Amino acid sequence: VTALPSGWRRIAHATLDSTNAALKRLVAAGEDLREGIVVTAETQTAGRGRQGRAWISPPGNLYASFLIAAPDRPGAAPEIGFVAALAVTDAFAAPGLRLTCKWPNDVLAHGAKVCGILPELDGAWIVLGIGVNLRPTAAAAEYPATSLAERGLAVAPDDALVAIAAALAVRLRQWRSEGFAAIALAWSAAGPVEGESLSVRIPGAPGGTVAGAFAGLDATGALLLDTAAGRRRILAGEVLFAPALDHAGVG
């Protein structure tokens, strides 16, 4: 693919505070809004991550925010994060490149984070932010991170954008025609194996983390975890990287 899906429109900037923030300003201004508007920046000075974290944004990577019509169904907006994570794994499917999904919305390459996704509901719209590490960076992260280049896939930001947009258009159609169950099924094929041990950091939870065996997603995308105290349904939190992955997954 060499162009955005028909009707989509890119607004490219060299530098922005955050593509999500910029797209939200467009939504607030309310002019000519339609699905498929995508704001990109070569660098971000205040890139945002999940849970209030910063997203360090040097040049060479992809920083993009897509305007997506929010679903009518109440509570369904977070489903978009799974749609997007799948689209990213589709976009970069290549022999020898093992891309997996980490709950809720991360994409890993060989066990290390290569893509972060930040969907923000804004009235009738979702501002869907996607950051993909294309080039190696020295930024010390609190978790193992990698880039597509380090995994043998050289991709320029513009090519990454059109590949993701094409895959996103396909997954959006599937989400709307077949429902979230189809997305959850496809995500699960790229996600953790049922029974796998996971530790989840839950904001504000006493003790901070919950450990258990992965028991799939529920119909809303919540994480099901079988713990010593029974099955828990986790709506928000962060799956921690298994210590073994720090070594085995990255090397």
Q: Is 168 in the site for ligand BTN (CB under 6 A)?
A: no
Single out the residue of 211, 250, 216, 215 nearest to residue 228, CA to CA: 211
Which region, left, alpha or beta, applies to residue 151 given φ > 0 means left and ψ of -120 to 50 means alpha?
Answer: alpha
Q: Is 118 in the site for ligand BTN (CB under 6 A)?
A: yes
Dihedral of the CA atoms 32, 33, 35, 37 (nearest 10)? Answer: 80
Partners of 115 in beta bridges: 107, 132
Find the part of the chain contacting ligand BTN (CB under 6 A) among 13-21, 171-179, 184-192, 228-236: 13-21
Least distance in angstroms from the C-beta of 52 to ligand BTN = 9
Minimum gap (Å) between residue 51 Cβ and ligand BTN: 7
Q: Distance between CA 88 and CA 148 in Å, rounded? A: 12
- How many Cα atoms are found within 13 Å in the side-chain-facing hemisphere of 115? 35
Which residue, 116, 113, 250, 102, is CA-closest to 187? 102
Point out which residues pair with 11 in neighbouring strands: 39
Binding residues among 16-45 for ligand BTN as defined by CB under 6 A: 18-20, 44
Residue whose CB is less far from ligand BTN, 151 or 215? 151
- Is the CB of residue 131 less than 8 Å from the CB of residue 62? yes
Q: Check residue 241 for interaction with ligand BTN (CB under 6 A).
A: no
- The residue among 10 and 53 lying less far from ligand BTN, judged by its C-beta, is 53
Backbone angles phi, psi at 118, to 5 degrees: -130, 95
Least distance from C-beta 45 to ligand BTN, angstroms?
10
Among 24, 36, 47, 192, binds ligand BTN (CB under 6 A): 47
Which residue lies nearer to ligand BTN by CB, 44 or 89? Answer: 44
Q: Binding to ligand BTN (CB under 6 A): which residues in 134-153? A: none
Under the binding rule (CB under 6 A), the answer on residue 157 touching ligand BTN is: no
CB of 192 to ligand BTN, least distance (A): 17
Task: Compute the least distance from the CB of residue 116 to ligand BTN, in Å.
Answer: 2
Q: Is the peptide bond before 95 cis (omega within 30 degrees of 0)?
A: no
Binding site for ligand BTN (CB under 6 A): 18-20, 44, 47-50, 53, 55, 63-65, 106, 116-118, 129-131
